[in-house]
A and B are shown apart, each in its own frame.
Chain A
Amino acid sequence: MDRTTTEWNVSLNARASLLAVVLLVLGLGLWEGLNQVPILGGGGELSEYEQLMAGADETAKVPPPSEVLVRAWEELSNPFYDAGPNDKGIGIQLGYSLYRVLTGYLLAAVIAIPLGFLIGMSPLMYKALNPYIQVLRPISPLAWMPLALFIIQDSEASAIFVIFICSIWPMLLNTAFGVAGVRQDWVNVARTHELSPLKTAFQVILPAAAPTILTGMRISIGIAWLVIVAAEMLVGGTGIGYYVWNEWNNLDLTSVIFSILMIGVVGMLLDLALGAVAKLVAYQE
């Protein structure tokens, strides 16, 4: 009985991987096949008009995956070139974006976690602050941008502020929720051992609420990475968002698709990193 289950599991995993690969090949093949660039007419002299129009395809098509791969190879083989303030390698652009995201995110964590603790431990604070949180939470990051630019008077700091303001809410709410949800028995045990409130907070409540807090942090980093692309498209200058905008400006979909993939990969790595931290603090009841 036991043996068959394992076999079944192994073959399930194997079959899942196989299916994933088949889907990928099928998808890419279809995409490639449907989007072949037509070969332009059989040589011959082009008229002046045709020469002026040459280069662009007869009808615009989504670039096939082979082109995206070639572009990816070009960009990734020289990721750190710097050809002036408006033309930098993909590695430098991602570096700028990560710097902004991590700065805004860490600032948000420094404020959200203590504040969340306070809200979670005190029903009074929760009731008093809740209306504000509910109003501020759903505001789109880009709506903040004009105001931030006007008040902060610096586009770099404004981008970081937008990350901050958008990534603070999930951390705040999850911390409050986690702290409020710590089992009353455990707090009572701490009380019978005559632990000081500070010790109770750090030695009982924090470890108990840690998995919920980490979930909030994981949601937040995802949001922060979503927001940075939009913010950089608006403010421009540097970063992966600017890269997308700049290639859109040139209607270069190959580069846009490549950067979409890069955004996805980096977002996944950020999530995996926080997932690994979450495993460290997880516990079984």
Chain B
Amino acid sequence: MIYREAGVFKTSYDADMALLPIPMDKYFVIAVTLFAVIVVPFISNEYWLGSILVPVLILSIAAIGLNILTGYAGQVSLGTGAFMAAGAYMGYKFVTAFPDVNIIFGILAGGVSSAMIGIVFGAPSLRIKGFYLAVTTLAAQFFLIWLFQKQPWFVNYSISGVPTAPPREIFGILVTGAEASATARYVFVVCFTIALAWIARNLVRGRVGRTWMAIRDMDIAAELIGIRPLQTKLSAFAISSFYCGVAGALWAFCYINTVEPSAFDINRSFQILFMVIVGGLGSILGSFLGAAFIFTLPIFLNNFFGVLGLDVSTATIRHIEFMVFGGLIVFFLIVEPHGLARLWALAKEKLRMWPFPY
């Protein structure tokens, strides 16, 4: 009874096919969105905005990207970090080459370059599937990181090899680089996140999303219906890499403030894969839940023992972290492959009836 969908009568397909057809969902999402954009910057402090919310949101974008590829189109990828790096480096090249162009275009240029690289590395997916494809994307991971590290052109021949993110403004407010305030960076990132999440929802419920899922569920039947496997898989790779590229550019410009390869190594790829698995394969909401969960769990564990008054060494906490992570991933794979998003959906289903049994 807390969560109601009874009494909602739709009289047109338009209403039925709205993004959020149930009023309660609609108001809830609008409220959360407004809260995130308007209220949060005022009530949070520098630490929460800059060190937790910004990275969680950026990783959510990357997780949405991987979810499109793995969760919706069914193509396993271990190259997320590399595609993020492509976004970061190409975004950096674009921003430094055209200093007067708005930073938004710089970030998007990173995404577009990454999408093109994604298409190149996605091409083998027509022939190879599953584990073998994962290994191919692993090649992207190692090759691209090597390329960005060894070719000084990508960092404008900077001597350290790790250039700092150039400061850029929107409406006269600094949003990137080390001097930008956490609030400005947060608002910049949250707007990107909301727009990209909305677009992702539209894509996955529309024609292209259905072709992705068709290829994932039964590729032979999909082809017999008239879906072209190569085009469909490449579009998934392109859009997925676009999201990862934007996330990588934002990571470099708005979070770590430098463009460096170590931020996008294989561990990043695995981290995002875990987010998608724990959050829920084939769910946009799950990407957010997974990113928040995986990113904040170590922070929570760090503080948890302190709050309890236990004196646990940092090394032990690191070990516990690994154990908890490993356990959680095995747990989710066995018990709930659809992740936190599925648990959320189940909770909603239960609340429809609660407190009555029927």
Chain A complexes with chain B: no
